[in-house]
Amino acid sequence: MEHRWGQRKAVHKSVHVRTRAGIAAQAYITNVSISGAFLTTPLPVALFSVLEVSFIGVRGGRRASTVIEAQVVRKTVDGLGLEWCEFAPAVGRTRDESAAKFDSDRFAGTAPGSERAK
């Protein structure tokens, strides 16, 4: 049963993921929707684990690190299906607004720095 809201948008964005236990890895988001994303990663995590997904983007003309918490809701041999933890308050956003976060013109796809955007 699909739990996704909105349509998937195919992307190929490098991100940095970290578990609550501090285990970290590089990964790629291969598609995104308003409610979550699919992540290819070798990171061994359990179903329903919470991950921090970090990526570098441009905000106000400056590079900024953005961190989004997500829960693993599906596991396959290729990777992990994620649901954004902050999805519930964002139900009113359109798919285009959510997908714009992952637009190739805005995100460089490198590991995050120490600055977190809010």
Q: What is the pLDDT of residues 14-34, one digit of tens each?
A: 999 999 999 999 999 999 998
Nearest to residue 108, comparing CAs of 33, 14, 9?
Answer: 14
User: What is the bridge-based pairing of β-strands 62-75 and 24-33?
Assistant: unpaired
Answer yes or no: pTM beyond 0.95. Answer: no
Sign of CA dihedral 81, 86, 92, 93: negative
84 has which bridge partners? 70
| Single-letter amino acid, residue 33 | S
How far is it, in rounded angstroms, from Cα 80 to Cα 45? 9
pLDDT at 94 over 70: no
User: 101: helix, coil or strand?
Assistant: coil
67 vs 5, which has greater pLDDT? 67
Q: At 85, is the pLDDT very low, low, confident or very high (cuts 50, 70, 90)?
A: very high
Fold of the 9-100 domain: Thrombin, subunit H (2.40.10)
